[in-house]
Amino acid sequence: MLNLLRRTPPPDPLAHPAWPELGRQMPLLSGLGDCEWWRLEARMRHFLTNKAFHGVEGFALSQRRLLQIAAQACLPIINLGDKAYADWNEVILYPHAFVNRTPWRDEAGLVHEGEWVLAGQARQDGPILLAWPDAQRGPILDGRNVVIHECAHKLDMLNGTANGFPPLHASMHATDWTRAFETGYVDFTGRLARGETVPIDPYAAENPAEFFAVLSEYFFELPHLVHDQYPTIYEQLRQFYRQDPGERLPLIDPPSLF
Give the interface with Zn ion as residue ranges (CB under 5 A).
210, 213
Kindly tell me which of 201 and 210 has the beta carbon lying closer to Zn ion.
210
Least distance to Zn ion from the beta carbon of 112, Å?
14
Least CB distance from residue 256 to Zn ion, whole Å?
20
Report in angstroms the alpha-carbon separations of 58 from 96, 116, 138: 10, 20, 21
Nearest distance in Å: CB 258, Zn ion: 16
Q: CB-wise, 44 or 119, nearer to Zn ion?
A: 119
C-alpha atoms less than 13 angstroms from C-alpha of 23 in its C-beta half-sphere: 24
Closest CB 125 distance from Zn ion, rounded Å: 16
Torsions phi, psi for 11 (to 5 deg): -65, 145
3-state secondary structure of 250: coil
Cα–Cα distance between 117 and 21 in angstroms, integer? 33
Which of 41, 210 has the CB closer to Zn ion? 210
* Closest residue by beta carbon to Zn ion: 213
**In sequence order, what are the residues at sequence separation of 6 or more whose Cβ sits closer than 8 angstroms to the Cβ of residue 99?**
115, 116, 117, 118
Query: What is the nearest approach in angstroms of Zn ion to the Cβ of residue 153?
Result: 6
Distance CA 125, CA 123 (A): 6
Asked whether 167 and 239 are in contact (CB, 8 A), the reply is: no
